[in-house]
Amino acid sequence: MTTVDNLLLKIANFSDPAIEAQVPKRDCKVLRSLASSIADKFFITENQSKLLVKILKENSKNIVNFSEEIDEALKDPSWSRRFREIEQVRKLYLGKNSEDELALVIELSFNSEIRKILSNLAKQHDTIVIGQNGKKHYAELTEKNVVILVDMLTPYAFEIDEKVKNYYDTIKSWSEQDYVDQFKLTNITNANFQKHITDDLGISTEITQSIINDRSIRYQFFTENPKNLGESLTDYIANRPGTKLWIDKNQHQLSDVIASLIELKRLPVLVIFDTLVTAKYLENLQILSKSLEDNNITDRVGIYFRLENDDVGSQFNQLIKHKEYNYELNHDTRVVAVMSGKLPKFFIKNVWKPMSVLCLDSRMGLRHGKTAVYSNCCDLVVEWAEQPNLLEQKKIGSWRQN
């Protein structure tokens, strides 16, 4: 009896008619590929043999010159050689990524189910990178990634490196409540912490709950009471979940935003003008000027950029001159304004640092450029605009008064 693999070679080598004229294009492509593998010294795998049997069975009547041989061979399929065995690799260990940095390495032979799971993880966590080709994939060496990957890969019989296991056991041994209790405001007795708080707010400042909640990100402590949005714009800012916050300019005037920053002791403030429309610079400067005056801020304001002296640019520059918004940058400057992406060099070595950052009509957000890097020092970045910036996939939030 002819073996199935030898029968395929006969079919593939027959030219009158050729296999391309008898079976669908997709099946023909697979048969040609399997014929090449059979002719190769490494042969085919068991899974490939099952695929070959399936295709021949479906196309037996179409391959007229070999229909009887195919039916006979498939009654009890036999093969001329042993199937090629594929080494099954499933490992999680510490190694180096493409940038020669220490990372978690996921090494595995192709498996559609596991690859799908890893691909979904990569979409949720930008610290996990799935390679397009090859057996190795990488994840940043973080506590979160260690737990995620060990929990996910263990049911799939992965060989997990002893060091990774030790990391996992250590991380899982931590008590979240113990960690929270350790960093609750009422439990922190470190002298440096108390000194920083005092230097920030002053000894005589009345400490409200909003100020306590606001400083929890800056000084990395937990509060006794859970945070909630509150009933005012000030409360909303103070209880923000992260360092960045979007405030809808159609719902809140800029003067109200600045009033909340003052209430939270968030001056000095760095104001960033971000727009492509020159007229918008003038409009926002006029709004900013009125908002500052509404909050009794009339001095120690420095706007450190100018526009070209066309019709609108001249008005912009003249307003700065008229309002005397050219205060030198030093430790007591209250409000500073720059153009997005263009930070003056004298900022770098100056002692002045913002307590808050206020972006006006931000289009792309503070993701790149000099102002973005500089603003990373601040734990409160407010984007005052009609919509969240284009790079935010979801709204951080916009407080609305009911």
What mean pLDDT comes out for the span 294-298? 96
**Of residues 35 and 133, more confidently modeled:** 35
- Dump pLDDT digits (tens) for 156-187: 888 999 999 999 999 999 887 777 777 676 66
Q: Confidence band (pLDDT; 50, 70, 90) for 329? A: very high
User: Could you tell me if residue 297 is inside a domain?
Assistant: yes
**Of residues 21 and 322, more confidently modeled:** 322
The whole-number pLDDT of residue 296 equals 97
pTM for the whole structure: 0.59
Bond into 354 cis (ω within 30)? no
CA dist., res. 234 & res. 237, Å (int): 5
Q: Confidence band (pLDDT; 50, 70, 90) for 396? A: very low
The whole-number pLDDT of residue 227 equals 65
What sign does the dihedral 31-36-39-44 (CA atoms) show? negative
- 197 pLDDT above the threshold of 90: no
The CATH number given to whatever domain includes residue 279 is 3.40.50
What mean pLDDT comes out for the span 271-284? 86
Q: Confidence band (pLDDT; 50, 70, 90) for 230? A: low
In 3D space, the residue among 85, 90, 84, 63 whose CA is nearest the CA of residue 7 turns out to be: 63
Q: Are residues 381 and 317 in the same domain?
A: yes
**Segments forming the whole domain that contains residue 21:** 4-75
- 134 pLDDT above the threshold of 70: no
The whole-number pLDDT of residue 166 equals 95
User: Could you tell me if residue 143 is inside a domain?
Assistant: yes
- 314 pLDDT above the threshold of 80: yes
Q: Is 55 helix (H, G, I), strand (E, B) or coil?
A: helix
The whole-number pLDDT of residue 41 equals 83
- 242 pLDDT above the threshold of 70: yes
User: Could you tell me if residue 396 is inside a domain?
Assistant: no
Q: Are residues 107 and 65 in the same domain?
A: no
The whole-number pLDDT of residue 397 equals 46
The whole-number pLDDT of residue 119 equals 83
Q: What is the mean pLDDT of the chain?
A: 86
Paired tokens of 79:
């093969």
What mean pLDDT comes out for the span 373-378? 88
For residue 235, give the amino acid letter: D
User: Could you tell me if residue 54 is inside a domain?
Assistant: yes
The whole-number pLDDT of residue 175 equals 80
CA dist., res. 18 & res. 64, Å (int): 11
- 390 pLDDT above the threshold of 90: no
- 234 pLDDT above the threshold of 80: yes
Q: Confidence band (pLDDT; 50, 70, 90) for 292? A: very high
- 400 pLDDT above the threshold of 50: no
Q: Are residues 147 and 40 in the same domain?
A: no
The total number of structural domains in the chain stands at 3
What mean pLDDT comes out for the span 141-145? 90
In this structure, of 139-153, 219-233, 250-264, the range with the lowest mean pLDDT score is 219-233
User: Could you tell me if residue 185 is inside a domain?
Assistant: no
In 3D space, the residue among 279, 281, 274, 271 whose CA is nearest the CA of residue 302 turns out to be: 271
Q: Are residues 108 and 11 in the same domain?
A: no
The whole-number pLDDT of residue 265 equals 93
**Of residues 99 and 31, more confidently modeled:** 31
- Dump pLDDT digits (tens) for 84-130: 887 778 899 999 887 888 999 988 887 778 888 888 888 877 777 77
The whole-number pLDDT of residue 250 equals 93
In 3D space, the residue among 208, 182, 180 whose CA is nearest the CA of residue 193 turns out to be: 182
Q: Confidence band (pLDDT; 50, 70, 90) for 275? A: confident
- 201 pLDDT above the threshold of 90: no
The whole-number pLDDT of residue 365 equals 52
Domain end call among 140, 173, 206: 173
User: Could you tell me if residue 214 is inside a domain?
Assistant: no
CA dist., res. 11 & res. 7, Å (int): 6
Complete edge-to-edge strand list for the sheet that includes strand 335-339: 244-248, 381-385, 356-360, 269-273, 335-339, 301-303
Q: Are residues 68 and 151 in the same domain?
A: no
Q: Are residues 381 and 286 in the same domain?
A: yes
Q: Are residues 261 and 380 in the same domain?
A: yes
Q: Are residues 67 and 101 in the same domain?
A: no
User: Could you tell me if residue 208 is inside a domain?
Assistant: no
Q: Are residues 321 and 346 in the same domain?
A: yes
Q: Are residues 45 and 165 in the same domain?
A: no
Q: Are residues 44 and 96 in the same domain?
A: no
Q: Are residues 29 and 95 in the same domain?
A: no
User: Could you tell me if residue 160 is inside a domain?
Assistant: yes
